[in-house]
Every structure is written in C-alpha cells, then in structure tokens.
Amino acid sequence: MAANIVFTRIDNRLVHGQVGVTWTKAVNANLLLVANDEAASDPLMQKLMSTTAESSGAGIRFFTLQHTIDIISKAADRQHIFIVVKTPQDCEKLIAGGVPIKTVNVGNMHFAQGKTEITKKVYVDADDKKALLDIAHKGVDIYIQDYPGEKKTTVDDALLSKVQ
C-alpha cells in the first residue's frame, strides 16, 4: 500500500505560516512531514515549525531524507501526508529512493549568488535546474505556485531554458 501523500512542496523556508496553515488546509493534510537532514537534528527549528503546524491542526514529523525513504511505506492510510523539502535536490533524492511522489509544488527558492530568476519567488542555478528537470522527466507533475488558487507555472525545459 502506497503512502497517502496529498502534497509535496519545495520551499527553502520549510514550514512557515503559508505552508503550515494555508497549504495544509487547502490540501486537507493532517500530517506535515519535514524531510530535511538539518531540521531532523535541530530542536529549535523543530520547535518553531511545530508551533506553526499546531495552528493548522496537523501533526508534524521531522525526518532525515534517508529515514523518510526508509519509513514512508509504513504510513497509515489515515495519514494525509504533506511532505516539505528545502531543495529540488532533496525532492529528487526522495523520488529516487522510492517515495511515491506524483506531484511537486515549487514554492520559494530565494535569490542567491549565481541563481537566475524564474518567477518572483523562484531562483535557480544549474544544479537546481538539473534536479527540477530530472523530476519533470520522471513524469512527475511539477509546477510553481505560491498560494492555492494562483495560476500554476509548469516546470519544464522551456521555462528553465534561460538558466545556464
């Protein structure tokens, strides 16, 4: 039985108000799974994100990428899982590891040196581009959408053509 993954989002802020409340309610998730090696071992990060998750009524777990891969198949059917990862590379690792992700929402990927603007909230470099395209080429529906109900921008070769 595959895990009931209702939503997967790439957001370099991980869980914050927009994810913890707006998206969680929009996708009817009852469990936020933060798949991030750093957050899995940082009690302060966990405390801040847990407070946000509690305001939406969802449970929250913090797993390393590998632990997520190892344990996702054991999820109960009643768990409507919303996976949050920090980078496209993390998402790509989960998919390669067998996590049954069918759709990926790209949220915030902040500007940094060497990154190219794709949308107002998404900046990518060559490594990000490769990971995003690898995900898209595996048949995963991957798109940029900041808020529920906003227009979706499909992530594909044409969109990423300006990234070197």
> CA-CA distance, 158 to 102, in Å (whole number)?
21
Domain boundaries defined on the chain = 5-162
Catalytic residue among 16, 67, 80, 137: 16
Helix (H) or strand (E) holding 46: helix 43-54
**Is the pLDDT higher at 55 or at 14?**
14
For residue 57, is pLDDT > 80?
A: yes
Tens digits of residue pLDDT in 73-131: 999 999 999 999 999 999 999 999 999 999 999 999 999 999 999 999 999 999 999 99
Per-residue pLDDT band at 1 (split at 50, 70, 90): low
Per-residue pLDDT band at 52 (split at 50, 70, 90): confident
Per-residue pLDDT band at 3 (split at 50, 70, 90): confident
Task: Give the pair of three-digit tokens for residue 126.
Answer: 């060559």
Per-residue pLDDT band at 134 (split at 50, 70, 90): very high
- The answer to whether 137 is a known catalytic residue is no
> CA-CA distance, 90 to 92, in Å (whole number)?
5
pTM: 0.95
CB of 84 closer than 8 Å to CB of 11: yes
Architecture of the domain whose range is 5-162:
3-Layer(aba) Sandwich (3.40)
CB of 128 closer than 8 Å to CB of 116: no
E strands of 64-113, at which residues? 81-85, 103-106
Per-residue pLDDT band at 19 (split at 50, 70, 90): confident
The gap from C-alpha 115 to its chain's centroid, in whole angstroms, comes to 19
DSSP 109: B
> CA-CA distance, 35 to 92, in Å (whole number)?
12
Task: Give the pair of three-digit tokens for residue 53.
Answer: 């998750």
**pLDDT value, residue 7:** 96
